[in-house]
């Protein structure tokens, strides 16, 4: 069986699709619904919000088509024995699922991976084949992202700036 080769622009939604399908699988298996944080994190809502998972996507493009894509999903299922020891390393403090749901609701990594892939593969296929499916994916992502439309502050080259997440690109003001 050969790999499906898709136009390079098709890779732009892989990270969003992976984050949303991980969110859905996590909700179905544990009962906990995380928020998404543009473009590649799942966060536990609250004050302050805490990072629960991250998504990394690598693609290889050859001849204008995606030849290969690897999607990495990292989710904190259980708190490490000594807690999280990441002094100053993360923008958001980490949290594990076992502190958010009863232990009996924490899925195995394998079950979560299978449930995510079972959702991700058809979603990617739809986004590649059906006009409008990628736009629907973005609408779903916006609904799951509490930052969308809000003014955020960030530091760039030592200067504090503000932006509003309301389009694919961040624009000042």
Supply 115's token pair: 């449930």
Check residue 172 and give its pLDDT: 35
Check residue 88 and give its pLDDT: 58
SS3 138: helix
Domain boundaries, the chain: 6-145
Check residue 52 and give its pLDDT: 95
**Minimal CA–CA distance to 51: which of 107, 93, 108, 114?**
93
Check residue 157 and give its pLDDT: 87
Q: Cα–Cα distance between 164 and 150 in angstroms, integer?
A: 6
Residues 128, 6 contacting (CB under 8 angstroms): yes
> What is the block-wise mean pLDDT of the chain (173 residues), using blocks of 10 residues?
64 90 97 91 90 93 87 93 70 89 96 96 86 87 83 81 59 34
Note every long-range contact of 117-120, with CB atoms under 8 Å and residues 24 or more positions apart, other chains counting.
118/25, 119/21, 119/24, 119/25, 120/17, 120/18, 120/21, 120/71
CATH label, 6-145, candidates 3.40.640.10, 3.30.450.40, 3.30.930.10, 3.30.360.10 = 3.30.930.10
Check residue 1 and give its pLDDT: 41
Helix (H) or strand (E) holding 126: helix 109-129
The single residue listed with the structure tokens 């609408």 is 139
């Amino acid at each position: 069986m050969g790999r499906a080769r898709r136009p390079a622009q098709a890779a732009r939604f892989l990270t969003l699709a992976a984050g949303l399908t991980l969110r859905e699988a996590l909700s179905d298996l544990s009962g906990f619904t995380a928020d998404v944080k543009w473009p590649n994190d799942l966060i536990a809502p609250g004050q302050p919000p805490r990072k629960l998972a991250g998504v990394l996507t690598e693609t290889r493009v050859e001849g204008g088509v995606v030849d290969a894509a690897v999607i990495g999903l990292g989710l904190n299922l259980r708190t490490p024995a000594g807690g999280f020891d990441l002094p100053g390393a993360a923008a958001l403090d980490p949290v594990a699922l076992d502190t958010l749901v009863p232990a009996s609701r924490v899925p195995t990594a394998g079950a979560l991976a299978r449930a995510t892939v079972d959702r991700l593969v058809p979603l990617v296929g739809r986004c590649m084949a059906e006009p409008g499916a990628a736009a629907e994916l973005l609408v779903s992502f916006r609904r799951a992202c509490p930052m969308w439309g809000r003014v955020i502050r960030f530091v760039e080259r030592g200067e504090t700036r503000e932006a509003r997440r309301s389009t694919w690109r961040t624009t000042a003001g």
